[in-house]
A = this chain, B = another copy of it.
Amino acid sequence: MADVFKALADETRRRILDALAVRDGQTLFEICSHLIARHGINSSRQAISQHLAVLESAGLVTVEWQGRSKLHYVNRAPLEDITQRWLHPGKDPA
């Protein structure tokens, strides 16, 4: 839960999720190209790779290796958990 909020706190990482929402299953290079082309983000490959690692450890992105390429997919389940806890609280959070 904490990891999800921290992952979403960064603008570049939110853009990455946007990119994957447009087309799921992109590789690292494809995501980099997408960010440069559509969002004016000009970070290095390594920077984006580290962002993807954060998103993955937060459960917001799942990966699938295919040869030497790593495909990234969005996972919205953690976001739904957030709404369950913060917008439709069924039980006392304290």
Q: How many copies does the complex hold?
A: 2
Which residues of B lie under 8 Å from residue A83 when comparing CB positions?
79, 82-83, 87
Q: Chain B's nearest CB lies how many Å from the CB of A76?
A: 6
- B38 close to A94 (CB less than 8 A): yes
Count residues of A near B (Cβ-Cβ below 8 Å). 25
Q: Could you list which residues of chain A lie within 8 angstroms of chain B, going by C-beta atoms?
A: 2, 5-6, 8-9, 11, 14, 17-19, 21-22, 38-39, 76, 79-80, 82-83, 86-87, 89, 92-94
Tell which of B5, B19, B39, B89 touches A8, judged by Cβ atoms closer than 8 Å. Answer: B5
Which residues of B lie under 8 Å from residue A82 when comparing CB positions?
79, 82-83
Tell which of B8, B18, B76 touches A93, judged by Cβ atoms closer than 8 Å. Answer: B18
